[in-house]
Amino acid sequence: MAAHLVRRCCRRLLLLPAPSRAPPGPALRTCPPSWAEGPQARPHEDGAEQQLRELIQGASNAQELLQVSGGPALNSNLAALAIARLARLTSEQRLDAKSIRRDPRFQQLLDTVDAQISQVWNTPLVQLLRSLPVLGLERGGRQARSVEQEVLWRLRRLPLRQLVHLAEHLAGQGHDSLLLPEVLRKLELRWTELDGTRTVVTLMAKVGHLSPTLMERLEDKALELAEQFDADELRRVALALALQQRRCVPLLRALSYHLLQKPAELPLPVLTDLLFAYSKLNFQQPQVLHRLSLELQPHLGALSPAQVSRCARSFAGLRWLSQPLAEAIAQYSLDNTQKLSIAHLCGILVSFAHLNFQPSSSEEFFSMIHERLQGQEQQLDTHLLTDVVWSLCVLQQAQPPHLRQVLSPEFHTRLRGDTSPRAQSSWLKLLHINATACLEAPGYEGPFLPPEALGGDRDKDKDKDKATPLQRGLREALLGALGGQNVARFDVSTVYGWDIDAEVVMDSDNKPLPVRDFAAPHLSHCEGTKPLPPGARRVAVLRWEFPQFSSRGRELLGRGSMARRHLRAAGFLLVEVS
C-alpha cells in the first residue's frame, strides 16, 4: 500500500507543469534529463563517441581539439569536454585565447553545446562554466549566460563535490554573480554532508567570508574534524579565521591541542602563518607559542627581513617573550643591516620595546639603530616616528636629538585636535616621551610639550562606569582602611601620561593626610598649594590585569616598566596590585 502511494506521488510530481517564473536565460524547461545527474546514470556511448572522447582527453595541443568540431560523432557533451580541455591547455601552455576565440571551429563547438545544452552531463557542464573565463568569453555573453542558466537549473541535483567546485570558482571571479548566492544557499542547507577535511578547509578559506551562516557551520564541522587535520590544514583553518576576524575560541583551542600532538617538526610556512593568525586573533596559548618560538629559531636565517619583522611584531602583540628567539632576531638584524629597510628595523625595535627586551649585544645593536636612523627621521610618518622614539625611551636609549624631533611644536601640532584612535595613541606616547625628557634626561633643555597640552582628564568620564571588579574592590578596601574620602584621590590622570588608580599622602608615621591640601606637580590642575611635610611620601596604587600572564605580564611589558620608572622619578612610592 505504501509503495503504491509513493509511486502515485512520484508520477504526479513528474507531471507537474513548469513554473511560471524562472531565472533569466535563453531557454526554459522543467528539469534536466534523469541521466544528467552523474556518470553512473549516463547513457551508453557508441564506438565512435568513445573514440572521440579518448581523442579529446589525449589531445596535447589546441589544433587537435579544434579538429574534433567536424567529427560526425560530436555531440554537446563531447563539445563541452573539448572546450574544457582547450581552456586547460590554454592555461598550461600560455596560448593566445583571442586567436582561439576567432577560430570558426571553436565557434562551432560553442554552437554545438548551446544547441543541446540540456544533454551535457553534470561534470562537463561545471567544467565548462569554469573554462569560459579562461578563454576570455565575457560573462554577459550569450554562451556564458546559457551555461550559467543550465547550472542554475541543476543546482539541487548536483553532487556536493561539484557544488564546492562551483563555489570556489565563483568566489574567485571577483564579481557579482546571480549563481553564487544560490550555490551558497545550497551549501548552507547541505553542510552536514561535508565529510572531508580538504573540502571543509577549502570552503573556509575561499568561500566562508561570503556567507557568515555557512562559516558558522563550517566552524562546527572543522571542530568535529580537527583531529584529522594535518599541519597544513591546521594552518589554513587558523589563517582563514584570522583573515575573517572570527575568534572562534572552541575551534582555536581544538586546533592548538591537535597542533601540539603533531610529533614532527612543523614546516616553516606553518610556523609563520600560525604565529600571524594567533596574533591577529589575540589568542594566547602558551604551549603553542613556546613550540612556535622553539621551532622558528633555527630557521630564522631563511626568512626575509619582512617575515622576521612580522614575527617580532606578532610575538610582541601576544606579549610573549622568548629570550633565545629575541636574541636571534637581534643578531639577525646585526647580520643583515643593509638588507633591512627602515620600516622593518623600526618594527623590530618597537617589538622589543613592547616586550621590554634588551639584547645581550645591547651596545652594538642600538649603535646600529642610531646609525640607521640618523638623517632618516624625515622619511618616517608622524605615527611611526612617534613609535620609534617612544620605543627608545622605553629601552632607555633615547638621545636628545630624538626628543627634540618629536617634542618640537612643528611636530606635535600635527597630532593635536585629531580624534582618530591612531592619533590618540600617538599623543599618549608623546606624553610619555615628554615625561622621559623631564624626568630621565638631565642634560636635555627642551623643547617640551606646552602645559596646556598636558591635560589629565583622558577618557575619565568615558571609563567611569566601566570599573572592573578589581578596581571596585580596591576602592572599597582603601576607603575602609583609610577612613574617609578626603585622604585618597582615585582614577588620577597625570601629566606624564600614566593613570594612577589611587593616590594617598602618608606622613612620617604612615598616617594618611588630606591629599587635596598639598601641591601636586603631577597634575595639570591642582587645588592644593602646601608643600609636603618633612618625611611625608606620596603613594601611588597601580593595578595590573593580565588574565593569561598574571605571574609575569608586567615584567614583559615595556609600558609597565616605563610607568614605574617615571612615577618613582616623580617621587611616588609604588604599591602594585594584580
pLDDT, mean of residues 567-571? 92
Round to whole Å and give the CA distance between 357 and 388: 15
Q: Angle at Cα 316 formed by Cα 315 and Cα 320, nearest 5°?
A: 60
Q: Are 493 and 486 in contact (CB under 8 A)?
A: no
b (16+ CB within 10 A) / e for 455-492: ebeeeeeeeeeeeeeebeebbeebeeebeeeebbbbbb
CB atoms near residue 422 (< 10 Å) = 12
pLDDT in tens, 189-203: 999 888 889 999 999
On the question of pLDDT at 140 being above 80, the answer is no
- Give which of 44, 48, 88 is closest to 65, Cα–Cα: 88
Round to whole Å and give the CA distance between 450 and 465: 31
pLDDT in tens, 115-139: 888 888 988 899 988 888 888 887 7
pLDDT in tens, 142-188: 888 888 888 988 888 889 998 998 898 888 876 567 888 999 999 99
User: In Å, how far from its chain's centre is CA 122?
Assistant: 37
On the question of pLDDT at 495 being above 80, the answer is yes
Strand duo 499-506 + 537-543: pairing? antiparallel
Prior bond to 447 cis, omega within 30? yes
On the question of pLDDT at 211 being above 70, the answer is yes
On the question of pLDDT at 298 being above 60, the answer is yes
pLDDT in tens, 322-366: 999 999 999 999 999 999 999 999 999 999 999 999 999 999 999
pLDDT at 46: 63
Q: Give the global pTM.
A: 0.81
On the question of pLDDT at 554 being above 60, the answer is no
Cα Rg of the chain, angstroms: 34
Q: Are 360 and 354 in contact (CB under 8 A)?
A: no
The more confident residue out of 100 and 462 is 100
Average pLDDT score, the chain: 84
Per-domain boundaries in the chain: 284-351, 375-456, 469-576
pLDDT, mean of residues 413-418? 85
Residue 575, SS3 per DSSP:
strand
Strand duo 572-577 + 537-543: pairing? parallel
Model confidence at 545, pLDDT cuts 50, 70, 90, reads low
Q: Which of 155-169, 270-284, 492-506 has the highest mean pLDDT?
A: 270-284
Q: Are 437 and 476 in contact (CB under 8 A)?
A: no
